[in-house]
Chain A
Amino acid sequence: MGLLRNRYIKAVAVSAWMGLLTVPFAGTVTALYISGAILAGSALFAAFRAFAGTGALSGAGTMSMKLEEFGVSLTSGRRSVIALGVLAVILVVFPFTSNRYTLDLAVQTGIYIMLALGLNIVVGQTGLLVLGYVAFYAVGAYTYALLSTGMGVSFWAALPIAAFMAGIFGLVLGAPVLRLRGDYLAIVTLGFGEITRIVLNNWDGLTGGPNGISGIPRPTLGPIGFEELTNYYFLMLIMVVLCVFVVRRLNDSRVGRAWIAIREDEVAAEAMGINTVWMKLLSFGLGAVLAGLAGVFYAAKMRFVSPESFNFLESIIILCMVVLGGMGSIPGVILGAVVLYLMPEALREFQQYRMLIFGAAMIAIMVFRPQGFIGTKRRRIEMAKG
């Protein structure tokens, strides 16, 4: 083990070990390539470190600090007004400079932002780990799909009904479950999410089973038809802005503070007179409502729903958006949703390697930046204090 202290020997040992691990799966030749690539990578990294060590590293360090400060100032204070203005102009001009594909990506990103904001209420604000969030999304999507294709209910009427259904679903599930400790809650919600998907898959009479439901209409409002993707994009944009507004107001309210108190210390929160059961239920229900709304938008955008869209991986990806972005921080969560949805899309050129890179990136981001892209102010203060 003493030998491993030497940096060069260690790099060779690590790359040889990794190569050795891959031999049974990839064959000797590929394993040698992998091992060589890791060695080259660590040599590059070492060279970079050596170069940076001569003063450039401290420069890079202060630069990243400055960048972070700049980022923080963009989300609060005077600069935030300018930043918001620029962002608003970009978002409004965007659809006129883009093609169908990018517009479609933008709309889907909006849906993910809604989902991430909703889950952020539950996981980021209240600290309840939920692994089956996609179930509420599915409830919303299927509610609209069934109401519109079966009974001709309009989008606007279906929106509150779907929100109500998802909220009720959340409360019914939450009531017995919320007294469980964190990890048990996680696993029960996971089980619940899976049950929802399996039921959707097998209840052929109602949900069409694995074939799903097609022919779901896009909304119209008087003379404006949202068949046109550009119009739908603006509808989505308005909805997202509305969600951000509501969530922000909630955060600063008495309810939001109660949630944070529960997250930090449930026993202490209860001792301070917070009705923890009610507050947790409220958080759960509101998170579910947002997911239900997002589900309606998803069903209307795709014009088709099937159980496959609501699998466990989807729940995980939404959770990752919240955690990678920075739990509890609204700009962080939005950034997380944008990055995490667009990253696999951007990696499409790498085709089959993209999910491999995605997984590796998730590990790397957590190892190097566990607080997420933009942590909350409270977290920053805690970290600065050490």
Chain B
Amino acid sequence: MTYPPQQAIKSVLIMDLFIQQIINGLTVGSVYALIALGYTMVYGILELINFAHGEIYMLGAYLGIIILGFLTVAGLTAFSLPLAILVTLVAAGAISAAYGATMEKLAYRPLREAPRLAPLISAMGVSIFLQNYVMLTQGATDKVFPDIIPKKSVMFMGAEVTYLQIFIMAASVVLMAGLHAFIMKTRMGRAMRATALDKKMAGLAGVNVDSVISVTFIIGSFLAAVAGVMVAMYYGLVNFYIGYLAGIKAFTAAVLGGIGNVPGAMAGGLVLGILESLGAGYLWPEYKDAFAFLVLVLILIVRPQGLLGERVPDKV
């Protein structure tokens, strides 16, 4: 994100700057929210902090560049840019979902009955593996997103909103609404809710727990990858280590909203994005990343169950 020069800030009305920060925050926040959904869904069902989830987002960002490059060569981008972007989003999401499902099968499924820390360590192994895998195959230097997104923008209450920002927010809303409908309305969604409540009981009632878990990883990875492609478009650069910080922040968002709680993750992502944007804009830009963690620590101490979470008493 770039900050306007000092003189420009003075000439801009304070209110305009505030709204600009809110809009920037909402854009980043909706990306956090999309990644956070994967964390929260997996945690809700497996009680596992899937540390490799940030890497799936990173894979998605790379896939976005790779696939869009391929489509440009194939001529689809010249034919219709929106169609090319749509294909890129879906394809990057699908391939990342395949990665997510494979990761679950290889690294987590064998450890379902193991001591609680074992899958966590295994997740960290996956994370290290995927980072180095991408570094080796794609190089350690920054990858540039092709410069084909039009830089048009509209004015909204004195703030400048780019088309891309509108697209990111709109796409996130559509995906989140879709996910909500999926969880609440479909048979598989019901199975997911049952499994999250009680894995064993759901299994006894005829739910195929293994496939529910696979579907959870597939959906979570798809959303994270779409977020990755959109971030690649937004910032224009990706690197093999972007998954770590984004993953941590998205996890923060999930905890902020009450982990395991799907609407909570959406709210947590948006709140975190806005807080971070305001904190960086008004307080100390160099402490932007620390600010997110500080908010997290404070919220956890004051309200450990998260914004929308319910207080779960210790089970005896």
Contact = CB atoms under 8 A, between A and B. Distances in A.
Is this pair of chains taken from one and the same complex?
Answer: yes
Contacts of A180: 300-301, 304
A188 B102 contact: no
A129 B117 CA distance: 9
Contacts of A30: 137
A342 to B, nearest CB: 17
A70 interface: no
Contact of B297 (A25, A192, A367): A192
A367 B251 contact: no
A367 B293 contact: no
Given A21-B102, A176-B301, A267-B316, A356 B129 contact: yes
B297 to A, nearest CB: 5
B252 interface: yes
Nearest to B91: A24
Contact of A316 (B106, B115, B124, B314): B124
B296 A25 contact: no
Given A25-B66, A267-B314, A356-B129, A362 B248 contact: no
A55 interface: no
B300 A359 contact: no
Interface stretch (A101-109, A142-150, A237-245, A320-328): A320-328
B232 to A, nearest CB: 14
A358 interface: yes
Contact of A25 (B47, B137, B294): B137
B111 interface: yes
A121 to B, nearest CB: 15
B287 A198 contact: yes
B158 interface: no
B248 A361 contact: no
A188 B124 contact: no
Contacts of B251: 187
A249 to B, nearest CB: 25
- Of the four ranges (under 10, 10 to 19, 20 to 34, 35 or more), the interface on chain B belongs to 35 or more
Contact of B121 (A21, A353, A366): A366
Interface string B75-89: 000000000000000
Interface in B91-117: 95, 98-99, 102, 106-107, 110-111, 114-115, 117
Contacts of A302: none
Contacts of A360: 125, 129
Given A194-B289, A195-B290, A198-B290, A362 B128 contact: yes
B129 A363 contact: yes
Contacts of B300: 177, 180, 184, 187-188
A190 interface: yes
Given A24-B66, A312-B244, A366-B114, A194 B293 contact: yes
Interface in B262-316: 286-287, 289-290, 293-294, 296-297, 300-301, 304, 312, 314, 316
A353 B252 CA distance: 31
Interface residues of A, number: 53
A385 interface: no
A355 B122 contact: no
A123 B117 CA distance: 10
Nearest to A123: B117
B289 A198 contact: yes
Chain B: interface secondary structure? Answer: helix
B162 interface: no
A360 to B, nearest CB: 5
A359 B127 contact: yes
B122 A195 contact: no
A22 interface: yes
Given A360-B125, A362-B121, A370-B111, A187 B314 contact: no
A366 B129 contact: no
A327 B115 contact: yes
B47 to A, nearest CB: 8
A7 interface: no
Query: Taking each of A199, A267, A320, which has the highest tally of chain B beta carbons within 10 Å of its own beta carbon?
Result: A320
B304 A355 contact: no
A370 B133 contact: no
A21 B316 CA distance: 45
B49 A186 contact: yes
Nearest to B103: A363
A370 B118 contact: yes
B125 A366 contact: yes
Contacts of A188: 296-297, 300-301
A338 B129 CA distance: 21
A180 B255 CA distance: 12
A191 B118 contact: no
Contacts of A191: 252, 293-294, 296-297
B259 interface: yes
7 contacts: A21-B98, A25-B62, A181-B304, A327-B115, A352-B132, A356-B136, A366-B122
Given A21-B95, A181-B304, A323-B117, 15 more contacts: A24-B66, A24-B95, A25-B62, A181-B314, A187-B251, A191-B252, A194-B289, A202-B286, A313-B128, A327-B115, A355-B128, A355-B132, A362-B125, A366-B121, A367-B106
Interface of A: 17-18, 21-22, 24-26, 30, 123, 129, 176-177, 179-181, 183-184, 186-188, 190-192, 194-195, 198-199, 202, 266-268, 312-313, 316, 319-320, 323-324, 327, 352-353, 355-356, 358-363, 366-367, 370-371
